[in-house]
Structure 1
């Protein structure tokens, strides 16, 4: 007698989610350099957990927790970056306003007055006498005290420098010197990097003495700053730096990365650019200039064309290269003409300007543009 085999059930078997079981492990701890808070190293732990979890399996609460930690750290970094940027912007604004107040007071004391081009904040002298009143001077003195107090509350120049140093960290894109290196190489195609005769580079406003350490075999960097954050950076005011008296003391490259925009007084900004030409080898010296992008593409009074024209008037007649990035504007100018003073002496600090070559003039009268 034949016995029939029972039919297999056609119903689909229910798949039971499989959860990987992990043995207890030691949690790695890292410290956020910005906030100082400690947190678990979630990236490595998360990758291990996901690798041990079968495809299609439900996510466990541990995985969810690690994802939350990773997300929290990303949010913390974003907030930290935002706070750093806000501190830098506020310090810049205060420094600019402070310079304007001091310029108005200085103009009233020297009797020069403002010329209506931004140097004195709009206070002009008339034929009948100064329009800068005692009340206005009192207001400026009070505002100067308030500005300096707020700067101190922010941590002063030291905190500004620390924030700027954090801003050029590798986690935030690295320092801007990496754009300059290919430019230098293209301008010196015959350079022997192993000959022991390195190019001389003056790094003004240096945040780190190690920006060019990777290229030390062919670049000899001299970093200076008003408030050095490293003992290897020389404490120096660039405008007070002695002018080279021989060709051997000249530099092949001068770097002004986010320096000019920090200075609040327009006259000093121009003097910094003029002064830079006195330190470069005429005919081959390079000026590396970095500015916040809004200074070029969102200003009422400045744009790319005007900047190139102004630099040409200082002897930088060749724009070697430029690049407008997301936040910064990069420029490399070559000094083709050595600076000459009114007596025809090259390199003199007492260069005379008989008239204002570039008066303050509206170029882009559009809403939301800066000054």
Structure 2
């Protein structure tokens, strides 16, 4: 009897052992391929069995992902460093210009008794101004600073400071009893984006302005040169000064911005939204939370609606309870030199090590 011999199939030998079946390779759809372009690591994980050892390809993708995270962190640090350096230079520039201006006024009034010293100081300030402006240009100037600030405010970096204000404005809108179709009027000074309140556009009408706008929807305007509304109908319900006051190097101008803001708000109900770097409040030798409240009260902002200290920023919402105060009268000695007497002269409040000057 003849025995029919069957042909033996050759079983492939795999790296994990002989006689084991090859794993079935999953089919990648066009949708998955598109997703892979955006997130290759997630796709690779979904196609890998849980008991499968990590391959060199996976390790490579993990390394790439880690590298991207490091690159993003470095980019964020570089952006923050550029902003800080530009702030420092701008502050020093303002001090140099203020000294030159003060010396000029003293000289014009005939009160300058040390003209040789004044001349040397002015020459040193002028030389330093040239150096500062050159470094600012090397950094990319105001335009690059604005771009860096816009990047820092991006949603991916959690930098949009308007988010804290929205719940306050929602309550404020209800308290005012605004009818449907009558939105709040909001003046956004130093706006980096015209879209901060886009989701609330049905009940917030925004007027964004900036010295060097990065978007065509932002009006190019110096706030201190902006005409004051002539009637209450054109006053604003909200004025935003988010990281604006601290950018100004001259303390006198900082105070002028705060004083001028009151002239744009509806007396009795207007809200001033003020955002400052947290170190300005908690790490300064000459300034703190209590002094800020005292200063704001003198300007008519007698009610602190709310405030919040975050990791890096201090948020404030003040209500203008009184009409904007008139300009302060000058002492006779100050009037001769055309210098206004400061309401809050520079005074040491916290003499501790490592405090900012």
Instruction: Give the TM-score range, shorter chain.
Output: 0.7 to 0.9
Structure-1 separation of matches of 2:34 and 2:68: 13
> Equivalent of 1:358, from 336, 339, 344?
344
Match for residue 103 of structure 1? Answer: 98
Match for residue 320 of structure 2? Answer: 335
**CA distance 1:112–1:54, change in 2 (3 Å):** farther
Match for residue 76 of structure 1? Answer: 71
CA deviations over 1:87-145 (Å, ceiling 9, x no partner) = 000000000000111111111111189xxxxxxxxxxx988445852221111111100
Query: Contact 1:239–1:272 at 8 Å: present in 2 too?
Result: yes
Query: Contact 2:299–2:325 at 8 Å: present in 1 too?
Result: no
Query: Contact 1:226–1:235 at 8 Å: present in 2 too?
Result: yes
Tell me the TM-score normalized by structure 2.
0.85
Structure-2 separation of matches of 1:271 and 1:132: 30
> Equivalent of 2:256, from 259, 271, 279?
271
CA deviations over 1:149-199 (Å, ceiling 9, x no partner) = 000000000000000000010110041111111111222324567711111
Q: Which segment is superposed worse, 14-23 or 221-230? A: 14-23
Structure-2 separation of matches of 1:336 and 1:46: 57
**CA distance 1:368–1:22, change in 2 (3 Å):** farther
Structure-2 separation of matches of 1:321 and 1:112: 46
RMSD: 2.7
Q: Does 1:91 align with 2:76?
A: no
**CA distance 1:108–1:25, change in 2 (3 Å):** farther
CA deviations over 1:276-319 (Å, ceiling 9, x no partner) = 00100011000000001110111111111111111111110000
Q: Name structure 1 gaps, 5 residues minimum.
A: 1-13, 31-39, 114-124, 342-349
* 2:345 match: secondary structure: coil
* 1:299 match: secondary structure: coil
Match for residue 354 of structure 2? Answer: 368
Query: Contact 2:186–2:204 at 8 Å: present in 1 too?
Result: yes
CA deviations over 1:222-249 (Å, ceiling 9, x no partner) = 0000001111111110011111111011
Match for residue 195 of structure 2? Answer: 210
Q: CA shift at 1:56, angstroms? A: 3.0
Match for residue 220 of structure 1? Answer: 205
Structure-1 separation of matches of 2:25 and 2:111: 85
Structure-2 separation of matches of 1:251 and 1:54: 61
Query: Contact 1:19–1:53 at 8 Å: present in 2 too?
Result: no
TM alignment of 1:195-206, pairs within 5 A: 195-206=180-191
**CA distance 1:353–1:176, change in 2 (3 Å):** farther
* Rg comparison, structure with higher value: 2
Query: Contact 1:316–1:333 at 8 Å: present in 2 too?
Result: yes
Q: CA shift at 1:41, angstroms? A: 4.8
Structure-1 separation of matches of 2:26 and 2:67: 23
Match for residue 316 of structure 1? Answer: 301
Match for residue 52 of structure 1? Answer: 47
Structure-2 separation of matches of 1:29 and 1:204: 42
Query: Contact 1:19–1:57 at 8 Å: present in 2 too?
Result: no
> Equivalent of 2:62, from 48, 59, 67?
67
Query: Contact 1:193–1:217 at 8 Å: present in 2 too?
Result: no
